[in-house]
């Protein structure tokens, strides 16, 4: 008899993470707009590592201590006291190469810390810009997977679900998927994939409204485009790094 396939679940809000057994799974932190898109972009552009922290105060303190770049947002804008924001365009190679980014965001880094507290076995970050790398990794590991959506202050959002759907559509034959949140995500993605940006706009997605109100359509376009920064950030001892880096 062939080995049973590992399971895959999608968790649509940090407030639901307690329902899943993260200790025996790979947890993919998904915060499409924009934390996890920015994380893979910074690493792809040569950042030494990204240190996710859960408060602005820690971000300022740690970045001073280690000579890193303090960055992050609260409510979609650069948080007071930080040097940089949460846009992937702030981290081109000429700026970020060899640097350490200390990052705090409203949802993405918060979810990562919740997953850690709950004893997550393995943590990676996922977003459209590194969709391919995430899928290759999940297929290669033959372990259970939880796609953890960062949402917005615990409220479910469309774009993280679309990313979950994109992953599922690519890896599903390798997993045993009995999870309504996963099949909903896959169904929504199937209807949206031809034009993700247009879908977000047509559905009046809350995050589309929030960011386009700040003039950040370019960020949204980038963050919905697959494989522009196709590397795999892996959480290791307090840092997100590229494997074998």
Select the residue interacting with its own copies from 23, 77, 81, 178 (CB under 8 A): 178
Contacts with its own copies by CB under 8 A: the residue count is 27
Q: Decide if residue 145 touches its own copies (CB under 8 A).
A: no
Applying CB under 8 A, which part among 15-23, 56-64, 110-118, 229-237 lies near its own copies? Answer: 15-23
56 vs 188, beta carbon nearer its own copies: 188
Closest approach, Cβ 33 to its own copies, in A, equals 12
Q: Decide if residue 174 touches its own copies (CB under 8 A).
A: no
Rounded distance, CA 229 to CA 42, Å? 9
| DSSP class per residue in 37-106 | HHHHHHHHTT-SEEEE-S-HHHHHHHHHHHT-EEEEEETTEEPTT-SB-S-GGG--HHHHTT-EEEEE-S
Select the residue interacting with its own copies from 188, 228, 236, 239 (CB under 8 A): 188
Closest approach, Cβ 159 to its own copies, in A, equals 9
According to DSSP H, which parts of the chain are helical? 35-44, 56-66, 93-96, 108-117, 131-141, 158-171, 180-192, 196-202, 206-213, 217-223
Select the residue interacting with its own copies from 7, 13, 45, 107 (CB under 8 A): 13
Rounded distance, CA 82 to CA 34, Å? 17
- What is the binding site for its own copies (CB under 8 A)? 12-13, 15-16, 19, 153-158, 161, 178-181, 183-184, 187-188, 191, 203-207, 209
């Amino acid at each position: 008899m062939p080995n049973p396939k590992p399971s895959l679940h999608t968790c649509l809000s940090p407030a639901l993470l307690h329902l899943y057994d993260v200790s025996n799974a790979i947890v993919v932190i998904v915060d499409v707009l924009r934390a996890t898109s920015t994380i893979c972009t910074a690493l792809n552009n040569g950042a030494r590592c990204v240190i996710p922290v859960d408060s602005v105060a820690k971000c300022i303190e740690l970045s001073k201590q280690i000579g890193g770049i303090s960055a992050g947002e609260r409510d979609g804008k650069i948080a007071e006291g930080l040097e940089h924001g949460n846009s992937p365009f702030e981290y081109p190679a000429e700026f970020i190469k060899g640097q350490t980014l200390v990052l705090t965001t409203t949802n993405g880094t918060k979810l990562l810390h919740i997953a850690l507290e709950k004893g997550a076995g393995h943590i990676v970050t996922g977003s459209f810009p590194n969709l391919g790398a995430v899928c290759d990794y999940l297929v290669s590991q033959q372990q259970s997977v939880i796609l953890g959506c960062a949402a917005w202050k615990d409220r479910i959002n469309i774009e993280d679900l679309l990313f979950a759907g994109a992953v599922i559509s690519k890896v599903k034959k390798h997993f045993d998927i009995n999870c309504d949140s996963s099949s909903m995500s896959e169904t929504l993605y199937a209807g949206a994939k031809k034009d993700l940006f247009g879908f977000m706009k047509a559905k009046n997605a809350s995050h589309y409204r929030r960011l386009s109100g700040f003039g950040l359509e370019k960020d949204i376009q980038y963050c919905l485009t697959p494989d522009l920064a196709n590397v795999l950030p892996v959480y290791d001892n307090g840092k997100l790094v590229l494997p074998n880096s």
